[in-house]
Amino acid sequence: MTWTEVEARLKAGACAILPIGSTEQHGPMGLVGTDAICARAVAIAAANHCDAVVVPEIAYTPAPFNTSFPGTLSVTPALTQELVRQVCDGLLTQGFKGVFILNGHGANLAPVRAAIADLPQGAVTLRSWWDPEPVGKLRHERFGDWEGMHATPSEVAITQTLHGAKPVGAAAIPPEQVSPEFIKMHAGDRHGPPDDHRAAFPDGRVGSHSALATPEIGDELLSVAARAIAEEFSEFCGVRCATR
C-alpha cells in the first residue's frame, strides 16, 4: 500500500493486524523464522476474508533458550515489550481504531501482554494463530500427541505450503515425546539455558514429529486458521469502530 491508500483506509475506519513471531531454529527440517512466517501468512490470508490492514511483522523477539542453535537471534523481553508498545501506540496515533496482534511464538505472550497493559484499554488485543477451536481441533486430528511443543508439524506444514518442503533427513526418526505436564510446565517457552536446552533436545525439536508435515496439511491449516482469525478480527474491529 502507498501512504495515500493507508490514509484512505484510515478515513474509512480501519483496524490493523500486527503479526509477531521470532527468528529461531525449528528443528532439522523447519525453517529459521517459522514463527514469523506463519503469523504473517495467517494474517494475510485472514485479510482476504475481512476488512483488515496487515502491517509488517515483528520478527526479533525473545528466544534465548534456542541461541545455541545457529540462526537463532534473541532480544530481551523488555525490548520486545517496548517495541510492541511503541508500534501499537504509533498505529493508534495515526488513526487505526484498534490493533489485533497475531502471535506465532510462545515466548512473546508475557512481554506483549505487558505492552498491552500500557496502552488504552481495549484498543489492542492478542491472539495466537493456533488459539481458535477449529485450528486446535484440526492440529489434533492430523498430528495428535506428535504435535509436541516446538518445531511442530503444523507450523512446519504451513511453511511447506509457502516455501516448499526441505528434505526430511534425520527428522524421519521420531523425537522423544514430551508429556502434557512438561508442556504445561514450559508453556510460554519457559525453557532453560541455551546449552542445556540443546543438550536435552539436540536436533531442536521438543516432542514434535516434524516429518509428519505435508504442504497439503499446511494449506488446510492455513485456510482454517485464516477464516477463524478473520471472524475474531471482524468482531474486534466492529466493537472498536463502534466505540471510537
CATH architecture of 3-235: 3-Layer(aba) Sandwich (3.40)
- Alpha-carbon dihedral sign for residues 235, 236, 237, 241: positive
Say what the pLDDT of residue 189 is.
87
Nearest of 64, 59, 88, 58 to residue 76 by alpha carbon: 64
Residues 32, 209 contacting (CB under 8 angstroms)? no
Q: For residues 114 and 9, give the distance between their C-alpha atoms in angstroms, rounded to a whole number.
A: 29
Q: For residues 197 and 205, give the distance between their C-alpha atoms in angstroms, rounded to a whole number.
A: 10
CB neighbour list of residue 184: distance below 8 Å, 6 or more residues apart: none
Tell me the per-residue pLDDT of 120-137, one tens digit each, with 9 for 90 and over.
999 999 999 999 999 999
Say what the pLDDT of residue 239 is.
84
Say what the pLDDT of residue 190 is.
87
**Domain definitions of the chain by residue range:** 3-235
- Inter-axis angle of helices 215-243 and 153-163, nearest 10: 100
pTM (2 decimals)? 0.96
Tell me the per-residue pLDDT of 166-214, one tens digit each, with 9 for 90 and over.
999 999 999 999 998 998 888 888 888 999 999 999 999 999 999 999 9
Q: For residues 233 and 17, give the distance between their C-alpha atoms in angstroms, rounded to a whole number.
A: 8
